[in-house]
Amino acid sequence: APAAIGVFIVHNKLKPKKGTLPDDVTYIAGENVPDAWNCYPWDAPAYGRDIYAHEALARECAGSERKRPRMEHGGSDHTVQLRGGVPAIPGVPALCWLGGVEGVAVHTDGVLTMTA
């Protein structure tokens, strides 16, 4: 059994929660955000879109100030390389917006696991 269990989320939506975590589970949020739709690259297939169509819809919903990946026309962001120079997840440039983190990302059976 592990010595401790924690939950890390990229975005904590500022809204009432439907449940609670046990007291012995550590909760870590990368950023508190308004209660609005977040465009996560790993959700694109669930909506029947590729990553580019998914991000285009997110930009349309968010307005023109939304970031674009460098590989897309007018893009300004960069792709973070993992150990050994392997891209985070090929075809999923938005995952790299998390900011200079080295690690391993594995997508298996609909679950994205990231290890720094």
Q: DSSP letter string over 27-78?
A: EEEEEEE-SS----GGGGGGGT--HHHHHHHHHHHH-TTS---TTSTT----
Q: What is the pLDDT of residue 54?
A: 85
- Higher pLDDT: 49 or 66? It is 49
Rounded mean pLDDT of 61-77?
51
Binned at pLDDT 50, 70 and 90, residue 79 comes out as: very low
Share of the chain above pLDDT 90, in %: 9
Which pLDDT does position 72 carry in this prediction? 46
pTM check: above 0.85: no
**What digits encode the pLDDT tens for the residues 81-116?**
333 443 344 444 334 334 444 445 555 665 556 554
What are the backbone angles phi and psi of residue 85, rounded to the nearest 5°?
75, 15
DSSP state of 16: -
pLDDT band at 2 (very low <50, low <70, confident <90, very high): confident
